[in-house]
Amino acid sequence: MNLFNKFSAIALMVISTINLTQATDLVVVNGGVLPQYATIAAAIAAASDGDRILVTPGIPYNESSLNINKNVQLLSNTEGQQYQVSANITVTPPVEGSNIIIQGMDLIVGSINGGVVPGSARSKFTMVGSTIRNGYVNFYTNARWELNMMQDSILGTNPYIYMRFGKLIGNYLNTASGGENCIYVLSEVTAAADSVYIVGNVIIMSNSGSAQSGIYWSNNTNFFYIANNYIKTNAYAQYSITVNGTNANQTGSNTIINNTLYNSSQGYQCMLLYSSSCFTFVYNNLLMNGGTGVYGIYLGGANTNYVISYNHLQQTSPTNAFYGLVNDGTNIIASNSTYDAATGMALTGSAVNGGYPNDAFADHDLTRNDAGCGGGSFRITNFHPMNNLSNGARVTFVNAPRRVLMGNNVSLKADSFDK
């Protein structure tokens, strides 16, 4: 029985594609004349909801500021090339439930901010295969935004992503300086049973600032699934993952699984976990600490709802592996693991085949789960190195059950992009 072929056949039937059909194409060429548009702003002004704006790479578009206030797609007009833009961008949904997309943009100067969302339903902003060279993405000031980012690079002195709900899949963040959390998730207006997915991202904190996290969760309206991320911190009081507030709905749960967390300096915790109002599962993570004062996992407050198992901690000082919890016997505190500094994947030692032994967590080769970002279904090499120069069709994320029983229905959900 070829399960992979069966999965592929089923997935083709259920994939939800980001695609606005029956659209008019407006072509932008720097310095162009009608029927082409000389600026992106002019094309947006002429567009109607559902149109595609095809931006031709070449000379950078110095737009100063852009207000994307229509349901449009901004796409690269040339396969394999990004179009360069200098502008501070505001995304303003025209109606409730809007869907606005940017693909293939190289934002050389400027940031992207979410504007006011009309109505009570979420509006969606999606960015695919784009680069922000010295700016940030801010979609938290209005609580009804859904932010989806796939295969994007956020770089510069103070890059960050602030959001309320959505998916961050296979992105790359590298901060040279600044004092912000790289990914910061805040609450929505009302509690929901939805999950935020933060999967397959590489986060490099090259700066020397303190009191920052690679991922900072402060959302008590949604659940989270944080998996297969590679996070490197560099300074005292930098944390890889911080959880400070969770959904109190007992029908759902949170998951922190198969992440590689590396702290190169004497400092604080790789993982800082405060009280959880619902069950939070912390499995199969690889924590590599270079500093003698670093705790691997630090629990603050009540910890009755945390299940922490099969994590591998390589501590310079093993006595500082845990704070506020007792090892259940499955966590390896003095791990002898080595890892690939480029990918974060375990190479040798206890982390290899050292994750949760249940076959629901198996690796791609169907062997036992490897602790760290190389283990399980969402291994880091699914997403990196990124192919963010392609503007062709692609499936960006597939959510499927970890175990399939003969005779039962299989439910798959996939996100994809197609011009």
- Kindly report the backbone phi and psi dihedral angles of residue 52, in degrees, each rounded to the nearest multiple of 5, phi listed first: -110, 135
| Residue in 255, 290, 284, 249 with CA at minimum distance from that of residue 270 | 290
Say yes or no to pLDDT of 3 above 50: no
| Residue in 10, 326, 397 with CA at minimum distance from that of residue 170 | 397
Both tokens of 126, joined, read 């999606």
Say yes or no to pLDDT of 192 above 60: yes
User: E-assigned strands of 234-300?
Assistant: 238-243, 254-257, 260-263, 271-273, 280-283, 286-289, 297-299
- Residue range 238-254: mean pLDDT, rounded: 88
Name the band, by pLDDT with cuts 50, 70 and 90, for residue 234.
confident
Say yes or no to pLDDT of 109 above 50: yes
Report the DSSP beta bridge partners of residue 395.
Answer: 416
270 in Cβ contact with 295 (< 8 Å): yes
Name the band, by pLDDT with cuts 50, 70 and 90, for residue 324.
confident
| Residue in 79, 2, 17 with CA at minimum distance from that of residue 391 | 79
| Residue in 168, 215, 164 with CA at minimum distance from that of residue 397 | 168
- Residue range 246-256: mean pLDDT, rounded: 88
Comparing 231 with 10, the larger pLDDT belongs to 231
Comparing 414 with 252, the larger pLDDT belongs to 252
Residue 88 to residues 60, 112, 253: CA-CA distances in angstroms? 14, 6, 37
Q: What is the pLDDT of residues 329-348, one digit of tens each?
A: 999 988 899 999 999 999 99
Comparing 419 with 214, the larger pLDDT belongs to 214
314/316 Cα distance (integer angstroms): 7
- Residue range 130-155: mean pLDDT, rounded: 95
Question: Rounded mean pLDDT of the chain?
Answer: 87
**Cis (ω within 30 of 0) for the bond into 385?**
yes
Q: Are strands 212-218 and 183-186 parallel, antiparallel or unpaired?
A: parallel
- Residue range 81-89: mean pLDDT, rounded: 97
Say yes or no to pLDDT of 286 above 90: yes
46/38 Cα distance (integer angstroms): 12
Q: What is the pLDDT of residue 269?
A: 67
SS3 at position 81: coil
> In the chain, helix, strand, coil percent, each to 5?
5, 40, 55
226/235 Cα distance (integer angstroms): 23
Cβ-proximal residues to 383 (8 Å cutoff; 6+ apart), any chain: 151, 169, 170, 199, 200, 201, 228
Q: What is the pLDDT of residues 306-317, one digit of tens each?
A: 999 999 998 766
Q: What is the pLDDT of residue 101?
A: 97
113/335 Cα distance (integer angstroms): 43
SS3 at position 300: coil
Q: What is the pLDDT of residue 46?
A: 97
- Residue range 346-368: mean pLDDT, rounded: 95
- Residue range 161-189: mean pLDDT, rounded: 90
Both tokens of 190, joined, read 């009302």
174 in Cβ contact with 204 (< 8 Å): yes
1: Cα separation from own chain's centroid: 34
